[in-house]
Amino acid sequence: MSSSPTTSRKAPKGTIAIEEAVLDPAGLSWISNSAALFNPSHPSSSGPSPPPSPTQSKHGQLTQALLDIHSTRLAQMDAHGVEYMLLSLTSPGPQGEPDAEKALKIAREANDWLSAQVSLNPARFGGLASVSMHNAEDAAAEAVRAVKELGFFGLIINDYQDVSQGGDSENKKYYDTAEFDPFWKTVEELDVPVYLHPRYPPDRDLQPGTRYGDRKQILGAAVQFHLDLSMHVYGICSSGVFDRFPGLKVVLGHLGEGIPFNLIRADHWINKPVKKASRPCKEDYTYYFTHNISVTTSGNFNTLGLKFCIDQIGIERCLFSIDYPYDTIAEAQYWWHGVDLPDDQKEMVARGNAIKLFKLPLEL
C-alpha cells in the first residue's frame, strides 16, 4: 500500500460505498487469530497463529486486499464507477479483544492510521472510527476524538464486545443496557451514524458441544452473521435506547441483517396488549426502522430484497454498499447497473442518502 501523498481528485458521480474494510499493519497480529474461520471446514485454532502470508492462500490474498487502499482498490473503483468509499477497520477489531487496555489501543492505533490514509486522498475516501466498548466512557471519549479531531464521519462497532471477567473467564457485553447510555448520548450529540457490523464468534464458542462448534458450516456471512447481529439489534430497539436518544442514527448492512423481512411479524407480537403493557420500548420495531435505522446493500446484491426494504422502511433509509474486499467491486457494480429503480430513487440509494446521512463532503 502506498504511503506517499496521492493526488486528491474528484471522481465522476457514481456509487458511494460505506461498508468497505481495511486493516492497519498493527492489526496483522489479531486478525490472524480468526483467519481459519474464513474456511469453516478448518477448526479454529486454540491460540494465536502467524499472520497469513501475503504470498500464499486465500487468507494471504485477503489480507493484502485489506491492507491496500491507494493502489488496487482505487484502480477498481475507477474502473467500475465507485465515486467514494467510507473505510473502516475489518471485523472484529476492538470488539474481539477481551482486555480493555489492549482493545482501546487497537481502536486508537487503527483510527490514527486510517485518518492518515484518508488524508492522502480525501476526495475518494472517508473513515468510520473504531471504538472499544468495554465501557461507555472510553467509547465516548474515542468517538469524540475520532470525529472532532480526526475528521471521521461515523463509527463502526462489530456486534458485542468480548470482555475479560478475570482469570480464564470471558464474557460478552451488549449495548442495550443503561450502562451504555453515556455512549449513546455522546453519539447523539456528535450527530454521526453508528454502523453495527457482524463478527465471528470467539474461540470459546466454537468448541465441541457449543452452538457453532458443532455447526461450523453455518459460520460467517451466509447465516451466523445475521443471526447474531439481528438479535443484538432487536435488543437495542426493544430496550428503549432509541426512546432515550431519539436522534440516534444506526446503519445495518446486508439489507438490514434480515430484520426488514420480519418486521410485520415482530410488530404483530410486540404490539400484543400483554407485550405492549410490559415492553421497555415505547414504539414497535418498524417505528425505529423508519426513524433511526438505515440499511445498505453490502454483500446482499438482491434487487427484489432491496425493493422490499424500500417498501418497508422508505427509500431514504436504503443505501448502496459493497463489502469490499469480502465481495468484489466488479460484482457489486454489475448488479447495481442492472437494478431497475426509477432514476430519482436510484440516485438516492447510490449516493444521495449516504451524503446526507454521513454529511459527506460531496455534491448532491
Residues with a known catalytic role: 281
Measuring CA to CA, how many Å separate 326 from each of 83, 176, 183?
19, 29, 30
Q: Report the greatest alpha carbon distance in the chain.
A: 62
**Which residues is 279 bridged to in the sheet?**
none
The three cell numbers locating residue 206: 466454537
DSSP, res 37: G
Q: Coil, helix or strand for 144?
A: helix
Amino acid letter at 54? P
Comparing C-alpha atoms, which of 132, 136, 135, 130 is closest to residue 150?
Answer: 130
Radius of gyration of the chain (CA): 20
Q: How far is CA 246 from the centre of its chain?
A: 21
Q: Identity (one letter) of the amino acid at 20?
A: E
Distances 50 to 31, 36, 54 between C-alpha atoms, Å: 10, 11, 12
Q: Angle formed by the axes of helices 100-119 and 136-144, to 10°?
A: 10
| CA quadruple 346, 347, 351, 352: dihedral, nearest 10 | -120
